[in-house]
């Protein structure tokens, strides 16, 4: 299996990063894994022009790092979305990547499964609800399977997730991917 993990926090070494790396360490035992962090790329938001529908390659006219990300996602069997909760949603940088998948070039993708890794400062039960609704709708629309989720509440400061059992949970989820 080829796995692409999209890390949505710009805070290097932060909670999302640590959770994504734990998942990656487990998954790398049986799979080819690549981490793509928003801290290392620049992706402009989709401007909704739909020019991608008319271009010969069905790609976006914007020449930024999404070109490279597209190439990596194209061959992935599993795509993992890893993000901190920002105002009950994904981070803007990760959402920009997701929105750029509007371009019909995505029809070349071979992805069959998604997984979700989320962290939040709050401990309220509903803190992930809006992202989970979005995730479920994406799975259904694209006929994808859920490979699993790790949702971590109550982590705010950089590195607060250290020692949290969620890191073992993420590693085990990674190991379960075959
Ligand atoms: C702009 C912004 C918005 C946030 N919104 C929420 C929120 O709605 N709910 C919540 O529980 N935490 C919220 N947080 C806290 C982060 O989700 C939390 O600190 C997380 O651990 C950061 O992950 P990171 O270390 O990977 O960046 C927000 C943080 C920022 C910077």
Q: Is 131 in the pocket of ligand 1 (CB under 6 A)?
A: no
* The ligand 1 atom nearest the CA atom of 153: 11
pLDDT recorded at residue 18: 98
pLDDT recorded at residue 164: 98
* Structure confidence by residue, pLDDT tens digits, 8-62: 999 999 999 999 999 999 999 999 999 999 999 999 999 999 999 999 999 999 9
Output the CA 119–ligand 1 centroid distance in Å.
7
pLDDT band at 175 (very low <50, low <70, confident <90, very high): very high
What are the angstrom distances between the C-alpha of 63 and each of 55, 131, 132, 159?
13, 29, 31, 34
CATH of 2-175, one of 3.40.47.10, 3.40.50.1820, 3.40.50.740, 3.40.50.360: 3.40.50.360
* Structure confidence by residue, pLDDT tens digits, 75-114: 999 999 999 999 999 999 999 999 999 999 899 999 999 9
Q: Is 120 in the pocket of ligand 1 (CB under 6 A)?
A: yes
Output the CA 52–ligand 1 centroid distance in Å.
33
Output the CA 104–ligand 1 centroid distance in Å.
32
What are the angstrom distances between the C-alpha of 41 and each of 57, 143, 160?
22, 28, 25
Return the structure tokens found at 171: 């590693």
* Structure confidence by residue, pLDDT tens digits, 103-146: 998 999 999 999 999 999 999 999 999 999 999 999 999 999 99
pLDDT recorded at residue 31: 98
pLDDT recorded at residue 110: 97
Q: Is 122 in the pocket of ligand 1 (CB under 6 A)?
A: yes
pLDDT recorded at residue 81: 98
Q: For 49, how many CA atoms within 13 A lie in the half-sphere containing its CB? A: 12
Output the CA 125–ligand 1 centroid distance in Å.
15
Q: Is 119 in the pocket of ligand 1 (CB under 6 A)?
A: yes
Domain boundaries, the chain: 2-175
């Amino acid at each position: 299996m080829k796995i692409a993990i999209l890390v949505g926090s710009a805070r290097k070494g932060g909670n999302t990063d640590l959770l994504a790396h734990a998942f990656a360490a487990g998954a790398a035992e049986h799979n080819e894994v690549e981490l793509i962090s928003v801290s290392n790329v620049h992706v402009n938001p989709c401007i909704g022009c739909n020019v991608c529908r008319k271009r010969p390659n069905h790609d976006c006219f914007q020449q930024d790092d999404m070109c490279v990300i597209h190439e990596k996602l194209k061959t992935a069997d599993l795509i993992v979305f890893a993000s901190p909760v920002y105002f009950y949603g994904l981070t803007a940088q990760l959402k920009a990547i997701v929105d750029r998948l509007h371009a019909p070039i995505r029809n070349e993708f071979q992805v069959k499964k998604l997984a979700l890794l989320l962290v939040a400062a709050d401990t309220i039960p509903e803190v992930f609800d809006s992202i989970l609704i979005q995730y479920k709708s994406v799975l259904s629309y694209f006929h994808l399977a859920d490979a699993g989720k790790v949702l971590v509440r109550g982590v705010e400061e950089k590195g607060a997730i250290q020692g949290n059992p969620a890191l073992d949970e993420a590693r085990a989820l990674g190991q379960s991917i075959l």
